[in-house]
Amino acid sequence: MTKVIDFIKKNVVMEIALLAAVVTMFFVPPDSQYIEYFDFKTLSCLFCVLAVVCALKHIRFFYILARKIVESFGNIKYCVLSLVYITFIGSMLIANDMALLTFLPLGYFILEATKQQKYMAFTFIMQNIAANLGGMLTPFGNPQNLYLYTKFNIPNGEFISIMLPPFIVAVIIITVCCLVFVKSEKLEIEGSPVKLDVKRTGLYLALFMLAIAIVFRSVPYIAGLIIIPSVLLIFDRKALKEVDYPLLLTFVFFFIFAGNMARIDVVRELFSFLLNKSVLLFSVISCQFISNVPSAILLSQFTENYPELLIGVNIGGVGTLISSLASLITFREYHRHNPNKTLYYIGMFSLFNFGFLILLSGIEMAIV
């Protein structure tokens, strides 16, 4: 019973997606068109990337890489900045939620081991913002990117050109925040180094490159679904068990929800009207209430203006606690270590996130 309760608490977004899908089924009963809702390539790419990342985590690849970088700094200001940058870069390569699951524990370890817990909330919040905004630059950095990239068949060069301006602005603001709000204090890192398994690292990185090749359409996704699970069944079965299947199910449920909503005449007319006013603004607002992934899936049914939609559902990932799955992951991790400081965290989280949201939205609205 305890495991069931824990599962329910950890997967609120999936449960909301399921409820939304079920409700829309009363308006659009299941029929042969349901199969057209699902983007199997997106689901396959997401599964392959998540599986390989789990395998790399098991050999502590990301931890070792991060520790090497962090050990280069003997100052808390630059240590926090490096943790945020690592999360930023990690989100571009392994997706925002996986970057947080990988590097938030490292941030906790560093701050706890060096008695710098006073920066815990700030560091977690900056890592969260970095994960959400860092992932915007690559098609696989955020789940909504992967979906829109596949749905609209966006060329690689165009994708980067669309997301580069807000990405650069985000980097500047995040850097300024870390330099301004963290004092310059000496820092010493305790703990023994971990030895890297070179052979497995090489194998898993090769699988990771295969997963990336699938995302960039260089390799058929069917090949990845055959090769990656087959190799992991031999070398790391646990990685396949630990894939974030609730995230995959969340996509499945939102595909049903979005597909059904698009077939309801009143909804289609309303969304078409609002998106004709401003795709960017409405997508940003939508994220604050139903999160960025479902916003991307739902709104893509009503507009072909993917540049503004892409930007909107990425910068809309900052703001409320429910604007992004990554934000819920960060909140859950902070609450686990600091259960008595929840209100403090929410207050600081809201202050910084809405600050970023207003700045980025204002700049993008001015450009558009």
Please report the pLDDT score of residue 130 as a whole number.
95
How many residues are there in the chain? 368
Sorted by sequence, the CB contacts under 8 Å of residue 55 that are 6+ apart come out as 200, 204, 207, 232, 235, 236, 239
Question: Across the 368 residues of the chain, what is the mean pLDDT of every consecutive 10-residue run?
Answer: 73 80 92 86 82 88 73 82 90 80 81 84 96 89 88 92 94 94 78 80 91 79 92 94 85 83 81 86 88 86 92 93 82 82 92 95 86
| Residue-range domain boundaries for the chain | 13-367
Please report the pLDDT score of residue 129 as a whole number.
95
Q: Both tokens of residue 31?
A: 């029929």
Please report the pLDDT score of residue 189 as a whole number.
63
Closest CA to 141 of 355, 313, 361: 313
Torsion angle of C-alpha atoms 135, 137, 140, 143, degrees rounded to 10: 50
Q: Both tokens of residue 256?
A: 């049903």
Half-sphere exposure of 281 (CA within 13 A, CB side): 10
The CA-based diameter of the chain, rounded to the nearest angstrom, is 64
Span 64-117, pLDDT tens digits: 776 776 777 778 898 899 899 989 988 887 778 778 877 887 888 788 877 788
Report the distance separating Cα 171 and Cα 360, nearest Å. Answer: 11
Please report the pLDDT score of residue 154 as a whole number.
92
DSSP output for 223-237: HHHHHHHHHHHHH-H
Please report the pLDDT score of residue 45 as a whole number.
79
Query: C-alpha 113: how far from its chain's center?
Result: 27
Amino acid, single-letter form, for residue 214: I
Report the distance separating Cα 339 and Cα 350, nearest Å. Answer: 18
Span 131-158, pLDDT tens digits: 999 889 888 888 889 889 988 999 989 9
To 10 degrees, what angle do helices 245-261 and 12-27 make?
30
